[in-house]
Structure 1
Amino acid sequence: MTTSELQLQLNNLDASLFNHTPFYCEENVYFLCKKLCSSQIADAQGSDLFVVFISNDNKQIPLWHQKASHRADGVILWDYHVICVQRKKDGGTHLVWDLDSSLPFPCPLAAMCQKLSGHHFSSFRSFRGEVNFSFLLLMFFRVVYAPLFLRHFASDRRHMKDSEGNWTAQPPPYEPIVAEDGSVHNLNEYMEIRAADVLTDLPPELTSAVFGQKHGVVIGEAHLEELFSQIP
């Protein structure tokens, strides 16, 4: 596929072509990565894809332009969220794939970061009575290399059941995802993101950590674009 053909394909993508079950963003991204690979939009092995978990210690993160929101500004509070970032080599535009967002699909990473930071302060007043205000700005990112994620991730959806075993949201129609090693549930290992885990700077060895660590690395919002600019 030529570069122009690929760009035409990207410009005409419809998010509805991808598997999407509300409130199961980690599984949505799992299958999104697989489809990007099989459709030649991404490298066949997913070497240009990264799965990004977003959360914080308090498990309250505000995200804007979300389809599930009932507000005019599209903001909603998630306990965690998961997106896919596609790194473009040779100075290309890094792309964010978020099936729950009303932004263009895919959206340039720089544009998403700009909208994210630009909205933080504008919605403080309306949220003041709804969340722990001191945590509102804290948004941390666990960046996981997609080939590792596709190999190791597993979820039996236990986090979507209440204390009596009832579903809090209707699960996807397909079978739960089982890891290559037989693990049936390790979602908590990815979604647990704490301030103590956040790298305050980006050391030279960070690239090898991203590609070599099963659970990736945890960074703050200020370093998200910088990280993808450093990955070869």
Structure 2
Amino acid sequence: MLAPSHECIHTSCYCEENVWHLCHNVKENHPSKLQGCYAVFISNGGQTIPLWYQKSAGEAGFVIWDYHVIFLHKNAYECQVYDLDSTLSFPCQFEDYLEQAIKCDEMLPTQFHRLFRIIPAEDFLNDFASDRKHMQKADGSWMKPPPPYPPIKSKTCSNNLNFYINMSCNISKTEVVNFSQFSERFQDGDSNVYDNVTVLCNGRHVLTFLRGSLHIYDMDSSSSVKNTPRKTIHFHNKIVFRFFFDEQYLVCVYQRIGARGCQVDIRSASNFQPLSREFDPAEGGREELSGLFDYCNGWIAAQSADQRTVHLWNIDTGHHQVIRHAGDIIYSFKCNFNNQILTKSLDACRLWQETLDSSQMK
């Protein structure tokens, strides 16, 4: 960790300045690591970018910003994200932040697709400037209180914030990339947390997800994929988080735009028709769920919105099981084919292994 959160300068709604000061902190205290540090502006042409796990997120679970700025530190072993406005761990592993806070563009309507301006920390320290006028109303009052320290200036200007936000601007020593390029650049090794989202196969069918639609293709006896989709499922006005697919079920995790919490669409893997026993966490007084899910062998695992509970639901029997660890935040979990779930606690930094209630299974 380069700096704990309590040692970082933070002012709400001034994320660009928070990141600038974090870059300065690293230069002063860890100068040898500055080369692996970056400021990253997130925005798009319409300046409408959704982010999850933000402290200012409303009941829908996400917030739509005009832009956001995060700090990245990458070394030979890992990449970590420092986001003082996030409710995720600080720092957070890049893959976890990508999957939980940013989410894949292919799951979003086109107007919400993000671009990323990557700036080496040293260049950001030297070149960035903001006079904070973007936070002032016409009468001169502040939309949000400004930081107590003076505005940041470079040697050559007093304000260039809008140039960093505008992804069509060509700024030297910066690079603008799309989601795929961003994820490939900073992920460890050959990992890709979205391999199981864009293309899925269960040996009989191949699924591809693109621009809000799921296309299902049949495979023949020689494992060749037919050219024409057998079925196409459209997710209108929905943000799709994850797909899971095996010989029994197709499980789709989504959130309706403007709605609270996540929902799960369950379909038969033989005819792809929705099951009548669709799992809806809003029913039965269950907690609202975050976008963190897993699925294996007929079991769905879902994290509660407060991150302190994992709900397990067996599709075959309807059995509902709950896992908690004395109020600790559960920030990762994984089901396996032995009907077990592994959960990892953030507060206690412990790993648990528990057996699912197989007596309730068919």
Q: Please report the TM-score for the alignment, with normalisation by the length of structure 2.
A: 0.48
Aligned length: 187
1:81, CA displacement in angstroms?
A: 0.2
Query: Is the aligned partner of 1:135 residue 2:123?
Result: no
Q: Alpha carbons of 1:107 and 1:229: their partners in 2 closer, same or farther (altered >3 Å)?
A: closer
Match of 1:88 among 75, 94, 99: 75
Q: Is the 8 A contact 1:148 1:214 kept in 2?
A: no
Instruction: Give me the whole-angstrom Cα distance separating, in 2, the residues matched to 1:139 and 1:52.
Output: 12
Q: Counterpart amino acid of 2:121?
A: A
> Are 2:160 and 1:186 aligned?
yes
| Separation in structure 1 between the aligned mates of residue 134 and residue 146 of structure 2, nearest angstrom | 11
CA distance in 1, matches of 2:87, 2:105: 15
Specify the code of the residue in structure 2 equivalent to 1:153: F
Deviations 1:70-126 (A, max 9, x none): 2263x111100000111112xx111111110111111111111122326984xx7xx
Asked if 1:100 is matched to 2:92, the reply is: no
What does residue 103 of structure 2 align with? 117
The whole-number CA distance in structure 2 between the counterparts of 1:104 and 1:72 is: 21
- Give the match for residue 136 of structure 2: 161
Equivalent-residue separation in structure 1 for 2:166 and 2:105 (angstroms): 25
Aligned-pair distance for 1:215? 4.9
Q: Deviations over 1:148-192 (max 9, x none)?
A: 1100111110111112222111000000011023x1001111011
| In the alignment, structure 1 residue 70 sits paired with structure 2 residue 58 | yes
Distance in 2 separating the partners of 1:72 and 1:135: 18
Q: CA–CA distance in 1 between the matches of 2:86 and 2:151?
A: 24
Amino acid at match of 2:32: D
Partner in structure 2 of residue 6 of structure 1: none
Report the identity percentage: 34
Query: 2:50 aligns to what SS in structure 1?
Result: strand
Separation in structure 2 between the aligned mates of residue 119 and residue 221 of structure 1, nearest angstrom: 7
Tell me the residue number matched to 1:5: none
Q: TM-score, normalised by structure 1?
A: 0.73
Query: 1:149–1:214: 8 Å Cα contact kept in structure 2?
Result: no
SS at match of 1:224: helix
Q: Alignment partner of 2:35: what SS?
A: coil
The alignment status of 1:218 with 2:176, answered yes or no, reads yes
Unaligned runs of 5+ in 2: 189-362
Larger Rg: 2
Cα distance in 1 for residues equivalent to 2:32 and 2:37: 8
Structure 2 Cα separation of the partners of residues 87 and 161 of structure 1: 35
How far apart, CA to CA, are the structure 1 residues paired with 2:146 and 2:106? 32
Give the 3-state SS of the residue equivalent to 2:167 in structure 1: coil
* Letter matched to residue 99 of structure 2: Q
Aligned 8 A contact 2:94 2:187 in 1:
no
Which residue type is aligned with residue 55 of structure 2? K
Structure 2 equivalent of residue 130 of structure 1 = none
User: Which ranges of 4 or more aligned residues in structure 1 deviate by more than 4 Å?
Assistant: 118-121
Q: Conserved in 1, the CA contact under 8 Å of 2:105 and 2:179?
A: no
Separation in structure 2 between the aligned mates of residue 151 and residue 118 of structure 1, nearest angstrom: 32
Indicate how the Cα distance of structure 1 residues 72 and 60 shifts in structure 2: closer, same or farther if over 3 A, else same: closer
Does the 8 A contact of 1:50 with 1:84 survive in 2? yes
Contact 1:51–1:145 under 8 Å retained in 2: yes
Structure 2 CA distance for aligned equivalents of residues 104 and 85 of structure 1: 14
Q: What is residue 46 of structure 2 aligned with on the other side?
A: 58
Q: Could you say which structure has the higher helix fraction? A: 1
Partner amino acid, structure 2, of 1:191: I
Q: 1:227 is matched with which residue?
A: 185
Structure with a larger share of its residues in strand: 2
Give 1:228 deviation, angstroms.
Answer: 3.3
